[in-house]
């Protein structure tokens, strides 16, 4: 008999339990302060490296754990049950930066950068610009070849991990007349001449996760740091983001699970009319409905991750999972606030943070509208 999609192997369950322990013991006590200060505790980032969470799919010869994509999604989910900010930090490192170099990097690039990304240096993925959000390939950042290097000029916006990152995957157009076929991806180090970090955004949710502007003023990038081939950047971006959406789905499942756990516990404790509100039929039906939605969201996410690991088509399933999980996370977190009543609207309890953190799921790494268009395109193609 085929195992259920949500069944975990012994190794996956061990990983899940290890991260659950880390999240409860080390992350949870820091959540409120990090959210208030809009800053990630450096000690937590170091712990993520020490625990092997920053190179989950990376082969052991490069310093990674040599595990699966599914394991990375599982780690993201467990962290998001406690803090979505740390979850997205680990998410970007694994599903975007590591994955990008693993798939498109030369042997020399992999040998140089993957050991650093697995053990000590944070990465960031820089595609978005002020005028290219959903229209991701309307890039204005330019790459001009000059001898043995490229000069990058322009800016990027809304780049996750930007403040702490030291290695960046950057997309720029090396041949504007060729349109999207001129887009090229580069590996950029933080100390390359002409590169700097700009404004840090003041956000609604995932506030401990840094989101910054990147500035390129004739930034000097060695030609050997082209990731893939010149003009192949659009393919690198699309295929990497297809995988990244599953990571965001895992994050949204975790947010929903975290909010639900709080709401369920509080419903058993909060008394109205002389008895716990969990004893009222209306509340029981609401809790049951939310649980069903979470289970469906988890199953869709796990299915997309399993398909990716199996080398099977997964783009439609990834888009479906991201679309649905972002909706579920928002609804569950919203209802969790309501279950808490007035207390849920205060910062004394974690549900208001889950509510704020949930909103980004329908926006980054492809809006919900773009997920629907992707799904429709595949369906219509038969």
**Residue 349: burial class (beta carbons within 10 Å; 0-12, 13-18, 19+):** middle
b/e code 291-318 from CB counts within 10 Å (16+ = b): eebbeebbebbbbbbbbbeeeeebbbbb
- Which candidate in 213, 243, 317, 365 is catalytic? 365
Q: What single DSSP character describes residue 29? A: H
Handedness of CA 300, 306, 309, 310 (dihedral sign): negative
Host H or E run for residue 198:
strand 195-200
**Residue 59: burial class (beta carbons within 10 Å; 0-12, 13-18, 19+):** middle
Tell me, rounded to whole angstroms, the distance of Cα 336 from its chain centroid: 23
Handedness of CA 260, 262, 263, 267 (dihedral sign): positive
Please confirm, yes or no, whether 348 is among the known catalytic residues. Answer: no
Tell me, rounded to whole angstroms, the distance of Cα 169 from its chain centroid: 15
| Residue at token pair 């399933």 | 317
User: Can you give the three-state secondary structure of 207-267, one letter per residue?
Assistant: CCCCEEEEEEEEEEEEHHHEECCCCCHHHHHHHHHHHHHHHHHHHHHHHHHHHHHHHHHHH
Tell me, rounded to whole angstroms, the distance of Cα 147 from its chain centroid: 36
From the CB of residue 264, how many other CB atoms can be counted at a distance below 10 Å? 15
Q: Which residues participate in catalysis according to the annotation?
A: 365
């Amino acid at each position: 008999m085929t195992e259920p999609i949500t069944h975990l192997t012994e190794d996956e369950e061990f990983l899940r339990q290890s991260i659950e322990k880390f999240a409860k013991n080390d992350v949870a006590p820091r959540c409120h302060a990090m959210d208030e200060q809009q800053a990630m505790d450096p000690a937590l980032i170091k712990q993520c490296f020490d625990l092997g969470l920053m190179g989950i799919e990376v082969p052991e010869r490069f310093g990674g754990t040599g595990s699966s994509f599914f394991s990375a999604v599982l780690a993201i989910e467990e962290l998001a049950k406690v803090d979505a900010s740390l979850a997205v930090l680990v998410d970007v490192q694994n599903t975007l930066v590591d994955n990008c170099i693993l798939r498109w990097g030369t042997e020399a690039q992999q040998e140089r950068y993957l050991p650093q990304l697995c053990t000590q240096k944070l990465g960031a993925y820089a595609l978005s610009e002020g005028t290219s959000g959903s229209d991701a390939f309307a890039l204005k950042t330019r790459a001009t070849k000059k001898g043995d290097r490229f000069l990058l000029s322009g800016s990027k916006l809304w780049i996750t991990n930007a403040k702490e990152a030291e290695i960046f995957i950057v997309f720029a157009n090396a041949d504007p007349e060729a349109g999207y076929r001129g887009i090229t991806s580069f590996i950029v180090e933080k100390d390359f001449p002409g590169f700097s970090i700009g404004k840090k955004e003041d956000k609604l949710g995932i506030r401990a996760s840094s989101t910054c502007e990147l500035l390129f003023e004739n930034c000097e990038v060695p030609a050997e740091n082209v990731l893939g081939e010149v003009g192949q950047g659009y393919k690198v971006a699309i295929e990497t983001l297809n995988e990244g959406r599953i990571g965001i789905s895992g994050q949204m499942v975790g947010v929903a699970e975290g909010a639900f756990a709080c709401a369920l516990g509080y419903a058993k404790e909060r008394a109205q009319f002389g008895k716990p509100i969990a004893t009222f039929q209306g509340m029981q039906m609401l809790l049951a409905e939310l649980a069903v939605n979470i289970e469906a969201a988890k199953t869709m996410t796990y299915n997309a991750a399993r398909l990716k690991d199996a080398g099977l088509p997964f783009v439609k399933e990834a888009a479906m999972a991201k679309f649905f999980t972002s909706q579920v996370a928002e609804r569950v977190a919203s209802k969790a606030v309501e279950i808490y009543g007035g207390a849920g609207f205060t910062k004394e309890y974690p549900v208001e943070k889950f509510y704020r953190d949930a909103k980004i799921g329908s926006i980054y790494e492809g809006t919900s509208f773009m997920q629907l268009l992707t799904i429709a395109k595949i369906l219509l193609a038969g």
